[in-house]
Amino acid sequence: MARGQQAGQELTEVLNELWRLDSNRLRPGTDYTISLQGRAGYVAQGSNYARDRASAPLFAYVNEDKLKSIETYAHFINLLDNYEMSTGVSETVTSEELQENRLFIDAIVETDVMKCAHKYLVRKRQSPSDITQFKKQLYDIWFRLYHRERGGGEDSCGFEHVFVGETKFGQEIMGLHNWVQFYLQEKHGHVDYKGYKARDNKDTPDEDDHVLNLQFSWKGLVKPVGGSFIGVSPEFEVALFTIIFLMSTEKMTSVVVKVDEYMLELVVYRHGRSIGTSFPKLLSSNNRDL
């Protein structure tokens, strides 16, 4: 699949349906508040210095009680605790952790978002209609451990890379595209938000935007630009990226699609039968003239 191909009507429709069905999406200004502050500058890949254009955290407030009262977020937050940060350190997966992976999948397949994705994938002959088999497919895509480093142990999985974040040789940040993890890491003092990324001054985001391009450092390493959905549920991201992943067998799939008011490029890298990484890039938004 060519890079950045336009999504067809059918794909656009199903992704927008997922958006509409995401009843666990949090409401900006009510369930959480972000503070965008300044526009981040250019950082060369591999450099660990970034001028801080944001003295305060990105998340000014998150209603954690609400988060923990929603089943899929509660399981999701348990999972975030289970992973070692360094790639190359073999993951020791305890039976309790395997159980938590399964509980998370059990919880998300119950949601309308995931039911919609499943129905679409069955229709496209990409997923088994049997729910037990579908859960196994999701498990392989997101939780099967694989070697990210040559010669290392089984040290990584799609879930860890996308949602938790990892470091490579202690030199660059990989992954960490999830807002809940970003918020928790920021709260613990590990993440320092440096400012939003935008092409020019006309491209200024709003604090109720659900997709942002961010610059930040994590445990001393700089991520020059990272795309992230903000406020969306974990099941929404899993559903969306599973669909993109299953669309092609290429090493990298990238689709340009308008979801709600956001023109996005959705990028997925494949690692065998599993997700290597996946993230959104915000190209433009309705409420601003780009």
> Dihedrals φ, ψ of 5, to 5°?
-70, 150
CA angle 52/166/19 to nearest 5° reads 80
> Dihedrals φ, ψ of 257, to 5°?
-150, 145
Helix (H, G, I), strand (E, B) or coil at 158: helix
Q: At how many degrees (to 10) do helices 95-109 and 234-247 cross?
A: 90
**Radius of gyration of the CA atoms of the chain, in A:** 18
The token pair at 52 is 């801080």
Residue of 75, 194, 210, 223 marked active site: 223
* Non-local CB neighbours of 199 within 8 Å, separated by 6+ positions: 290
271 is catalytic: no
Element spanning 41, H or E: none
Residue of 161, 194, 210, 271 marked active site: 161
223 is catalytic: yes
Residue of 75, 177, 197, 271 marked active site: 177
In the chain, the amino acid numbered 213 is N
161 is catalytic: yes
For the chain, give the longest Cα–Cα distance: 51
Catalytic residue numbers?
161, 177, 223
